[in-house]
A = this chain, B = another copy of it.
Amino acid sequence: MSKSNKKKLVAEEIENKNYSKAVDNLKKIYNKIILPVEKIYLFEEFHSPPLTNADIVAKPSVLVLGQYSVGKTSFIKYILDREFPGCHIGPEPTTDSFMAITGNKKDRIIPGFAAVVSTDLPFTTLNKFGRAFLNKFKVSQVNSPILDNITFIDTPGVLSGEKQSIGRSYSFPEVVKWFVERADLILLFFDVHKLDISDEFKSVINVLKGHEEKMRVVLNKSDEVNVQHLIRVHGSLMWSLGKILNISEVIRVYICSLCDEELRYKDCEQLLKSEEEHLLNDLRILPTNAIDRKVNEMVKRAKLVKVHGLIISRLREEMPYMKNKESKQRQLINTLPEIFEELQKQYGLAKNDFPDVKEYQKKLNNYKFDEFNKYNKKLFSAIDRILTSEDMKNIMDDFQQGITEISEIKIKSKYLAKL
């Protein structure tokens, strides 16, 4: 083994060690500190189900969205440098399902129904979208070193007309929303021949609101027109995006040709190459960003769990021992806004750390407050330690010292040949 090869191997071990270590720490923190509080104060019934280990260790995911036949599936094949089970590519709508492309020693397809009951896959909560959706969901497991660190989510083409979407028996934007919230990078694909933004596309773009920082726009097949034409096409796309996206900063559009074929027009070869390099780099550094995001989400969740626990335990403690329980409970629900304010003052919490008071008032009607658990000092101190100590920061720092790029993602030979 050459010296440089050996060096590379060591670097990769460090990387994996750091990635696993960071994720392991997160798992520990969640299961030992946050989850117990969730359980004793019924967090799930007011907010969301507990995170599974699969959710926490889930690899960074790249969600690929766009009209049909703009090259979404081809792009994934291009990056992996191989075909994969379930990949159909063609000029007509070919991908009619949502497909998660993940790494595995052996290639295979897992159908939706099986995928959502596999607790080692991070898709269990997709169950709520029901049969109609699960029939249109698959996991494609593929042997590829790139997929050791990343998961791609391929999607059916966004439809161009209102009428077509009637055929879908599940809510496309709702499902997209589920994936958007969990994605680390969202690629919105257009191609130089398909720039129109349909109503369904608009509703998808609406779902992206608030997630613009992880969104990138790709103008694909840019080699299929000459440079004059490309300037116009890119301009029209910017015009439409400017109208639809409610952000003031100009969005970055990657002008690419993400497929194996030779470039048709070569007058922008240099541009296409440098754009592709930028896009590939966004993919390479995903693991770093992903850990940051996971830590971030975990802190957000810990905060909400704490606030929820404080509310529930306070309500329990306000209850009388013997009589007038019902009237006291009604009174507590009515004065919930004041209770929120008291807690904010007492614990130095911000108003916007608190959930919607009206929703709580509605939900609380279904409970008997004297069955709630009381304030547990030990549990809350533990959560406070995460929120205030250096634990979370250490996880990120640990990780970022490692080599975190996916080195297998490389610029393609069609460019290397000549440049």
Chain A: residues with CB nearer than 8 A to chain B? 227-228, 230-231, 234-243, 250-251, 253, 255, 267-268, 270-271, 274
Q: What are 24 inter-chain pairs, A to B, with CB distance below 8 A?
A: A227-B267, A227-B271, A228-B268, A228-B271, A228-B274, A230-B231, A231-B271, A234-B234, A235-B235, A235-B250, A235-B253, A236-B238, A236-B250, A238-B242, A239-B239, A239-B241, A239-B242, A239-B250, A239-B251, A240-B250, A242-B242, A242-B243, A243-B243, A267-B267
A278 to chain B, nearest CB (A): 12
**A242 partner, pick from B230, B241, B267, beta carbons under 8 A:** B241
Closest Cβ neighbor of A244 among chain B residues? B242
A249 to chain B, nearest CB (A): 10
A406 CA / B237 CA spacing, docked (Å): 35
- Of the listed residues A230, A241, A242, the one surrounded by the most CB atoms of chain B closer than 10 A to its CB is A242
Residues of B within 8 A of A243 (CB): 242-243
Q: How far is the CA of A209 from the CA of B270 in the complex (A)?
A: 40
Minimal Cβ-Cβ distance residue in B for A222: B231
> Given the complex, which residues of B lie within 8 Å of A236, measured CB to CB?
238, 250
Closest 5 A-B residue pairs measured CB to CB? Answer: A242-B242, A239-B242, A238-B238, A235-B238, A238-B239
Chain B residues near A242 (CB-CB < 8 A)? 238-243
Q: Which residues of the partner chain B approach A271 to less than 8 Å between Cβ atoms? A: 227-228, 231
State in angstroms the CA–CA spacing of A271 and B242 once bound together: 25
- Chain B nearest CB from A167 CB (Å) reads 27
Q: Which residue of B lies closest to A242 (CB)?
A: B242
Contacts of A239 in B (CB 8 A): 238-239, 241-242, 250-251
Chain B residues near A253: list those with CB within 8 A: 235
Chain B residue numbers with a CB within 8 Å of A251 are 239
A251 to B267 CA separation, bound complex (whole angstroms): 25
Minimum Cβ distance to chain B for residue A16 (Å): 37
Besides the known contacts A228-B270, A235-B253, A236-B250, 6 further A-B residue pairs in the complex with CB atoms under 8 A apart: A228-B274, A235-B237, A238-B238, A239-B242, A239-B251, A242-B242
Complex: chain B residue closest to A255, CB-CB: B231
Residues of B within 8 Å of A230, CB to CB, are 231
Instruction: Report the minimum CB–CB distance from A336 to chain B (whole Å).
Output: 42
> Within the assembled complex, what's the spacing in Å between the Cα atoms of A253 and B231?
11
Residues of B near A237 (CB, < 8 A) are: 235
Which residue of chain B lies nearest to A228 when distances are taken between CB atoms in the complex? B271
Residues of B within 8 A of A231 (CB): 230-231, 234, 255, 271
Q: In the assembled complex, how far is the CB of residue A256 from the closest CB belonging to chain B, in whole angstroms? A: 13
Complex Cα spacing A241 to B250, Å = 12
- Residues on B with C-beta less than 8 A from A241 are 239, 242
Chain B residues whose C-beta falls within 8 Å of the C-beta of A235 in the assembled complex: 234-235, 237-238, 250, 253
A384 → chain B, closest Cβ, in Å?
A: 45
The distance in angstroms between the C-alpha atoms of A250 and B233, with both chains bound, is 11
Q: How far is the CA of A255 from the CA of B228 in the complex (A)?
A: 10
Tell me the complex Cα distance, A271–B270, Å: 19
Chain B residues, CB < 8 A from A274 = 228
A251 to chain B, nearest CB (A): 7
> Which one of A230, A231, A255 has the highest number of Cβ atoms from chain B below 10 Å of its Cβ?
A231
